[in-house]
Amino acid sequence: MANTAFSVEGRKALVTGGASGIGATTAGILRDLGADVVLSDVNADGLDSRSAELGNCPTFLCDVSDEPQVEGMVKAAAAALGGLDIVVNSAGLVDEVKYALERDMEPWQRVMDVNFKGTLQVCRAAARIMVPQKRGAIVNVASVNGPGGWPRRTAYGPSKAAVIAVTKELACEWGEHGVRVNAVGPGYIATPMVQGLIDVGKVDTERLSNRTPLGRLGTPEEVGQSIAFLASDWASYISGETLFVDGGWMAYGGAGDVKTF
């Protein structure tokens, strides 16, 4: 008999990147669906204000690129929650937007360390709890820039391609222990990250909308709902998957404007 009640009622959920954008919104959605939620981020002020909005949920300052910090944070989060059922890896950085031949490798390494290594490190720390308990759902946040090539994003795109790849690896390793690992691949979503790029002229909203079959940018809520689905029992037979939440971006292979090509 089908499970007709979509819910994460009573689940214990940790959201990284929870101070802003997709992470902050996802935490609210999980909470509204009945989960107990804690937030982690490097942004202390952002954590405080989002926690206040969510009824003073516990927060943990942590740079996901630093493994000892991650190990301590995940243990502390699980202790505060009284368990760990769901982890959402939304912490992430944008790229410098420089050509490969002109960029420095230090900022390149930083993007890889936060977006890829950070995601893997949080997955590992979570699995140390989830594998022995034989239960858990992890949702990583990748991007359409993982499978797609963008000029001047030689760190961001590869970091997200690696997130998609490692999501599959970990799903294969931990599936027998009842731990599912999936990802979402957002297109362009109206978050502070993208607003920052719009403000400095590195993103043109109109061109992006014209390139997107649904004709607009996405909202953090639309990504958060897909994350909640993948974290819930409704996705109980889905693992290793990346669900693109992109308004059809990945489906379009034309010459630049959906309406004319």
Ligand X SMILES: NC(=O)c1ccc[n+]([C@@H]2O[C@H](COP(=O)([O-])OP(=O)(O)OC[C@H]3O[C@@H](n4cnc5c(N)ncnc54)[C@H](O)[C@@H]3O)[C@@H](O)[C@H]2O)c1
Binding site for ligand X (CB under 6 A): 16-17, 19-23, 41-43, 46, 63-65, 90-93, 114, 118, 141, 143, 186, 188-189, 191-194
What three-state secondary structure class fits 222?
helix
Q: Where are the alpha helices (DSSP H) in the chain?
A: 21-32, 44-53, 67-81, 105-111, 118-133, 156-174, 192-199, 205-211, 220-231
Phi (first) and psi of residue 137, to 5 degrees: -135, 125
Cα–Cα distance measured from residue 123 to residue 112, given in angstroms and rounded to the nearest whole number: 16
Cα–Cα distance measured from residue 118 to residue 123, given in angstroms and rounded to the nearest whole number: 9
- What amino acid is encoded at 50 in this protein? R
Question: Is position 237 annotated as part of the catalytic site?
Answer: no
Residues recognised as catalytic: 156
